[in-house]
Homo-oligomer: A and B are copies of this chain.
Amino acid sequence: MSILEQKMRSSLRRLGVRRTSSVVVAVSGGADSTALLDALVRQQTKRGVPASIVAAHFNHLLRGAESDADEAFVQALANRLLVPLVTGREDVAAAARAGKKNLEATARRLRYSFLMATARDCGASRVLTAHNLDDQVETFLMRLLRGSGPDGLRGIHPEVDLGEGVTLIRPLLEVRRAQVLAYCTHFDLEFRADSSNASPDFTRNRVRLELVPLLRAFNPRFDEAVARAATLLAEDEEYLERRAAEVIEESAGRLEAARLASAPKALRRRAVRLWLSRARRTLARVEASHLEALEELAIEGSDGKVVELPGGWRATLEDGWLTVKWLDEAQKTQD
């Protein structure tokens, strides 16, 4: 059994995929997702795990004829492997323009909502994506370069709860890209030029082509070293976030300043972030400096003091409680 199959198998077991599981596999047609689908079908044939596999392909309509050729390629692959394929298509560029949002973020949002809908339609409990160890290392490094704290350095999550009983899992997260390519070569699998190689993400490409090779020259097992650090950081983060949730429990929209102030520093940061993400429903555009300002407001602020947050939100300290409110444009102008 190839190293990819071994690692995929132990990941799937750890991530709770069993003989009775139904899964949806996201397939772009690149090397990673082609190998994942092929290896998964191979395992199903040999071991009967998982019970059912549905492939899902999302056409972003971003590269004209090339996007259509990707879709046709995935259709042919699914036919050959005797796997049902669900396709979705959306004009991502138009959606981004209409919503005045970043293209990549819009693409991700639409893609994941398609995958979620597909899982729901198929009664699947798991959505599989083919992120690999190289993606993990690149993400870790990009976040380190950007100044992320421990929660960012934990990297790509092997498992994300999507709600409604569906979990996103990444069973190739410990498999190197070179091992994916070796798998494709070994089984003579064709794949479409990986879109990530032509990614518009300039920093990621530079990290991949300049930084990672230098780090591997220091330690040929650098990728595994980062993966280990990310795993340990994820374990810490999980525990710390659970403890931080206890700090804000029963706060029902408001946050008790005294309770926050008496918590250890490691929990304070996380409690503020968690509280804000619940009260404001998103952390979009919130930066570390905003969270620090809220922490300071709770600990040292005097009653009636205010912290302005992105998107017209405002946090206030009143009678020892932090609250956050959205001010509409009219109110803001009146101020």
Answer yes or no: A214 CB below 8 A from chain B CBs: yes
Answer yes or no: A178 CB below 8 A from chain B CBs: no
Cα distance, A218 to B204, chains bound together (Å): 11
Give chain B residues whose Cβ lies under 8 Å from the Cβ of A148: 225, 229
Answer yes or no: A310 CB below 8 A from chain B CBs: no
A249 → B minimal CB distance (Å): 18
Number of copies: 2
* Number of chain A residues close to chain B: CB under 8 A: 38
CB atoms of B233 and A150 under 8 A apart:
yes
Cα distance, A229 to B221, chains bound together (Å): 23
A101 → B minimal CB distance (Å): 25
CB atoms of B145 and A232 under 8 A apart:
no
Answer yes or no: A226 CB below 8 A from chain B CBs: yes
User: A: which residues have CB within 8 A of B?
Assistant: 144-150, 153, 203, 206-207, 210-211, 214-215, 218-219, 221-222, 224-226, 228-229, 232-233, 235-236, 238-240, 242, 264-267, 269, 288
What are 15 residue pairs bridging A and B, where the CB atoms are less than 8 Å apart in the complex? A144-B225, A145-B215, A145-B219, A147-B225, A148-B225, A148-B229, A149-B228, A149-B232, A150-B232, A150-B233, A153-B153, A153-B229, A236-B236, A238-B265, A239-B264
